[in-house]
Every structure is written in structure tokens, then in C-alpha cells.
Copies of this chain bind each other. A is one copy, B any other.
């Protein structure tokens, strides 16, 4: 019901694109004011900032505000949802924010969050993400300066609401979308972005290929409230008609400039696939499974030359620094199977990524490091340990990893196991995996399942790491569950619509949502109900300590039997 009413039809020009808008059921979009800084460096008035949040209204009068990635699309009400004009794009939130002077780097000056953080400058982006995370802004600045966190925010993507990726902050998740040679359209891709952000994607990677790659990306960027990442070599390969051997530094460079100009916030660059590492993959069970990695391996072999990405890496840094595009150093040799995990090829590349991290940072360019892939549980922590040691604790950004290979069609689950564990160990962002992984293209439902599954993994890690806000939501939901506030339980869930639908399959009537039992046990056997009675009885009689209960309870037990005796609710079973 709420889903259908929330799907407004945003008409723009002659293209009718259906964009999902309106609040998530039970919630309203709010903007919380950010405290102004004590002073600004030049004494100017500080920018007025407000961070988005989703306010979940509870039936007991309380509310819970949760981190929100959905952008302006969830403004309005169920009956009067937001009606964005996708052709015009989102408002340019950051256009009026302060841009500090260029800050010094080892190789000159740069206008990047890293360079500013190192120079002690607190940017509006840092203030925004600090308020969004509920942490002190100095923690943000110092982690960015240390290179242990990044704020991917291309100056040409002013529409985005800044966010931070780093192990000291909430674990983030990325959703991939992209048309392919086989199916899908531009309009579908924009809606997929809105849809992924709605359910909690913190960033989006546009992996589109094909003829309309530039236009698709433009639509996505102008409408994206979240940072957008790309893999520029895909478009570069299009430009040389799909022939890896025909790739050149110049074609690649021009592609990076084109995408940086459009506003791409971070780029995957497979600069660690070196010529001498390629043979290390020859005896693998699954060879090279990264598209970018295999393209670069093919180029290296064809030319018997070192990777042009590696050889021109400093020039690449200069381009990225000019826009404050963040590097996502790709793991082109990541394992594609349990058998290949943590092998020589993977680890050789990781060492090279560590070397490139130093080069990028010396140019003031922010860096994160991509990680696997397919890794059995006992080899997961080692990935984080080596990444932190070799890459100077640059934020780790991993795909899963899948903890087993034997469950295609359930790889969102096989990978959520690995993702939760690697995030607990320190990974800062998790790239989602959908149920269609290895099998086909994810549709709308798959994208949602992938995002929700990864929110579970990320949140589980936040709990395990003791993130200060994480347990609030667990406690609120469990309290609602114990008190039979069904509606609150649904609305506090990551996916209220599905939770409600599952409940209604068995007990569809509206009164069941206030019933003090559920369909699993029926009215007579409800442990929650019995437990509530036990608690009420114990508290009423002061039996809240071992001492109290041991101090003569015989007469009280008689009262308990007299006062109702049967602790289940005398509701007739249907």
C-alpha cells in the first residue's frame, strides 16, 4: 500500500520516468541543524548546515532518528510525496559552501579534503559528516589527515550530501548498478540509484557500459544524493572498440578527465596489476575475475610492457587532485574462489597498492583500497591486517567476501557472512552483492535485497565495534517486540514493508497488530506474554534480586496463583 502510493510519476520533458518518492512507511524526513564552528579562518559567517535524518515515529510517543542516505526523494508525505524533476537534477547543496584556499602537499598544493585536513582546516564537508555521524569534528579532521578516512566529494558533484568512509565511523555500503550490453535502460538506472539510496546505499558505483555511457552517468550524477564511483577503464575500452591491446594512456587519461568533469566522486583504478604478476594467476582455479584486472593483464601481455596506469600514476594523481576525486585502488587480482584466496598474486598486488597509496597521498589525493572477493572465514582477518600494514591504514573497501563458493543464487548471504566479519576486523566500506551475483543482472528486488543484506552486515559490525549509536535501534526494536508494539517493530526494521507483509500473511487482521501474541506460538504458548507476566509479578512483589526471591516467597506464590494463576492470556484460539 505504502509502496504504491509512494511511487510518484515524475514527468520531465518528453521522458516519463517513474521515480520512487515519499517517505519510508512510519518515518518522516527531517533535517537536523549542525552547530556552527567557533570561528572561521577568515572571520566570515559560517555556512548554515543541516544533516538529513529519517525520524521513525513510535506509537508510544517516542521517536528514533536514524542515518539517512535517501536524499530529497523521501521528503513529503505518503499522500503528497516529493516530486523531483529528474531532468533538472537535485539542488546544488554544496554550491554555496566555503572552499578554503589550496593547502600545501608534498608535490605542490591541492584543494582536497586530505590537503585541508593536514593543514588543520576544518571544511564544511567535515562539519557535515561529523554531525551526521554524531562525532566530534576533530575526529573527522584528524582521521582524514591521517589518511585513515576519506570524504569522497568531487567539487563538480555539488548535489551530494557528504559522507565519510573510515574504520572509526559507521561501516558504509556501496551498491553497484549499470546497464549492460544485454539489457536495461538509462531511466531504469536512475531509478535503481534512487531505489538503492532509499534503502541505505551510502555510495553508488555506476558500472555502465555501452553507447550511452556518458549520458547515463550524467543523469545519475545530477540526481544522486550519494557519492558516485566509476571504473574509468570500462569507458576507455569502449572508446577503442573493446580491444584491450588498443588502450593507451592518452585514451584513459581523457576518459578520467571527462568523468572527473562530470563529478564522479571516486574512481577504481587497477594500477597494481603489474606485468610480472600476471603469470602468478595462471595456475589459479579461477584466474583473474576482475574485469579491470583482466583488461590490464591482457594489455600488459599484449605489449609486454608495464601497465600504463602504473607508469603514469603521478599524472593521474594530478588530475584527481584537481577535482578532489578519491582513488579506489582496485584489486584486479582478487581471488574469485575459495581456492585462490590470499594467494601470491593477490598479495603481490596489495603490496603495490600500498606503494601507490603513498604516491597518491603525497599529491594530496584521498585513497581507499579495494579488497576481495572470495575468502574462507579463517583467512578474512589476515586481509585486513596486511592491508593496514602495507597501505598505511587507508580505508579498506571490500566486495563481500563470499565465505563459500557453493551457493549461487544466495551469494548475498554467503558474502554477508564474510562482509560482517571483515567489517568487524576494520573494513570501512562493503560493496554489496545481490542474489543474482554470478548468474544474471539484478532487478529492482535484487538491488533492495542486496542493500538490506549489506545494511545487516554493516550494522552487525557497528555493534561489534561498539559504535556509539548502533545499539539504540536494536534496543528500540527489541523493546517494541517485547511490548507487542507490532507497528513499531515493523517501522524500526530495515525493511518495514516486508516485515509487515510477512506478519500479515499469517495474521492479516488489523487487530492482530495490537495482539499480545503472534502466529508462531498462538495465544496460549506465547513466551513473551508469559515473560511479561513474570516480570510484572516479580516487580510487583519486589522479587528483583536473588536475595529477595530467596527470602521467603511461599506466601507470595500463593498470591500469584490466586491472582489469575494462568499466566497466559485467556484469548480464544482461532
Residues of A within 8 A of B (CB): 180-183, 209, 234, 237, 242-245, 275-276, 278-283, 285-291, 293-295, 297-298, 301-305, 336-339, 374, 376-378, 403-410, 412-414, 416-417, 420-421, 424, 435-436, 438-441, 443, 452-453, 455-457, 459-461, 463-466, 471, 473-475, 477-479, 481-482, 489-490, 492-495, 498-499, 501-503, 505-507, 518-528, 530-535, 537-539, 543-546, 548-550, 553-554, 556-557, 560-561, 565-568, 573-574
Bound together, the chains give a CA A82 to CA B477 distance in angstroms of: 47
Q: Which residues of B contact A403 (CB under 8 A)?
A: 420, 456, 460, 463-464
Q: Given contacts A245-B567, A286-B479, A286-B528, list 5 more A-B pairs with CB under 8 A.
A: A242-B566, A279-B549, A338-B475, A339-B478, A417-B456
Q: Which residues of B contact A521 (CB under 8 A)?
A: 180-181, 209, 291
- Which residue from B281, B533, B537, B549 sits with its C-beta under 8 Å from A534? B281
Q: Which residues of B contact A481 (CB under 8 A)?
A: 286, 336-337, 405, 438
Q: Which residue of B lies closest to A473 (CB)?
A: B406
- Which residue from B234, B522, B549, B566 sits with its C-beta under 8 Å from A275? B549
The answer to whether A543 touches B440, judged by C-beta atoms less than 8 angstroms apart, is no
The answer to whether B532 touches A287, judged by C-beta atoms less than 8 angstroms apart, is yes
Q: Which residues of B contact A464 (CB under 8 A)?
A: 376-378, 403
The answer to whether A289 touches B474, judged by C-beta atoms less than 8 angstroms apart, is no
Q: Which residues of B contact A243 (CB under 8 A)?
A: 565-566, 568
Task: Return the 5 tightest CB-CB contacts between A and B, nearest first.
Answer: A181-B522, A287-B531, A304-B557, A337-B478, A440-B506
- Which residue from B409, B416, B466 sits with its C-beta under 8 Å from A417? B416
Given A209-B522, A410-B456, A530 and B282 touching (CB < 8 A)? no
Q: Which residues of B contact A531 (CB under 8 A)?
A: 281, 286-289, 294, 297
Q: Which residues of B contact A460 (CB under 8 A)?
A: 376-377, 403-404, 414, 417
Q: Which residues of B contact A182 (CB under 8 A)?
A: 506-507, 519, 522, 573-574
How many identical subunits does the complex contain? 2
Q: Which residue of B lies closest to A304 (CB)?
A: B557
The answer to whether B378 touches A499, judged by C-beta atoms less than 8 angstroms apart, is no
Q: Which residues of B contact A534 (CB under 8 A)?
A: 278, 281-282, 287-288, 294, 297-298, 301
Q: Which residue of B lies closest to A402 (CB)?
A: B460
- Which residue from B298, B404, B493, B535 sits with its C-beta under 8 Å from A456? B404
Q: Which residues of B contact A421 (CB under 8 A)?
A: 377, 417, 421
The answer to whether B409 touches A498, judged by C-beta atoms less than 8 angstroms apart, is yes
Q: Can you sample 6 A-B contacts with CB below 8 Å?
A: A181-B522, A245-B566, A302-B560, A304-B557, A404-B463, A413-B413
Q: Which residue of B lies closest to A181 (CB)?
A: B522
- Which residue from B482, B539, B549 sits with its C-beta under 8 Å from A286? B482
The answer to whether A463 touches B495, judged by C-beta atoms less than 8 angstroms apart, is no
Q: Which residues of B contact A489 (CB under 8 A)?
A: 408, 438
Bound together, the chains give a CA A408 to CA B521 distance in angstroms of: 17
The answer to whether B209 touches A520, judged by C-beta atoms less than 8 angstroms apart, is no
Q: Which residue of B lies closest to A376 (CB)?
A: B463
Bound together, the chains give a CA A415 to CA B525 distance in angstroms of: 23
Q: Which residues of B contact A304 (CB under 8 A)?
A: 553-554, 556-557
The smallest C-beta distance from A234 to any residue of chain B, in angstroms, reads 7
The answer to whether B279 touches A494, judged by C-beta atoms less than 8 angstroms apart, is no
- Which residue from B492, B494, B503, B533 sits with its C-beta under 8 Å from A410? B494
Bound together, the chains give a CA A518 to CA B408 distance in angstroms of: 14
The answer to whether A530 touches B279, judged by C-beta atoms less than 8 angstroms apart, is no
The answer to whether A245 touches B561, judged by C-beta atoms less than 8 angstroms apart, is yes
The answer to whether B499 touches A439, judged by C-beta atoms less than 8 angstroms apart, is yes
The smallest C-beta distance from A83 to any residue of chain B, in angstroms, reads 29
